[in-house]
Chain A
Amino acid sequence: ETGVTQSPTHLIKTRGQQVTLRCSSQSGHNTVSWYQQALGQGPQFIFQYYREEENGRGNFPPRFSGLQFPNYSSELNVNALELDDSALYLCASSLAGRGDQETQYFGPGTRLLVL
């Protein structure tokens, strides 16, 4: 167990809808990263938040957005859902700013299906 939790575990939406996924970081961690994992592929980096600000973004369109709250929990929002957004969404928390290794610890993921 990493202490990183995500909700919901599964979700079904239809094309064009909006979705919000939630992540609670491991205690003491100040950084959260989000990844999308399509079936049979490795996780792909979406973005990272550090102290409530976006701190790095992968090759994802603006309809993927996020928030990090003062307690370091986080949300991933996806607007105008497309069929290709069906995937496992993972969040990972880490402790940045110590000047040493910043290992990322993953939650169990949210399985999103877009119909």
Chain B
Amino acid sequence: LAKTTQPISMDSYEGQEVNITCSHNNIATNDYITWYQQFPSQGPRFIIQGYKTKVTNEVASLFIPADRKSSTLSLPRVSLSDTAVYYCLVGPVTGGGNKLTFGTGTQLKVEL
């Protein structure tokens, strides 16, 4: 599975847009990019998933350049409740035996 690199931590203020970038230089052709959010002592929560270009849902946008060697999770107008660890994962999402490989994630801290 492709290895990912993301910042260990980020700080922001309420109302700001937050962009978390993930590097995945050796992403394979059949790999998707998935982001999860995790609060302390809870299971990871699926945020968004994409293969190329741009994906948007009600909580976030995911930007993927043409070479797919990186991706950016964009959280518009964050609030205190967005303080959490954000994980970027890269891997195939079809077929059996699909394991998710988590890194240490990005700890996002949102302040007033």
Contacts and interface: CB of A to CB of B under 8 A. Distances in A.
Contacts of A40: 104
B96 A44 contact: no
Contacts of B42: 108-109
Interface string A67-97: 0000000000000000000001010101010
Contacts of B36: 106
A50 to B, nearest CB: 5
Given A103-B46, A103-B49, A104-B46, A43 B102 contact: yes
Contacts of A104: 46, 98, 100
Contact of B100 (A31, A33, A109): A33
A107 B43 contact: yes
A101 B103 CA distance: 21
Contacts of B105: 42
B100 A43 contact: yes
Given A103-B93, A104-B46, A111-B41, A48 B99 contact: yes
Given A102-B93, A106-B43, A96 B98 contact: yes
B97 A55 contact: yes
Interface of A: 2, 4, 31, 33, 35, 40-45, 48, 50, 55-56, 58, 88, 90, 92, 94, 96, 99-109, 111
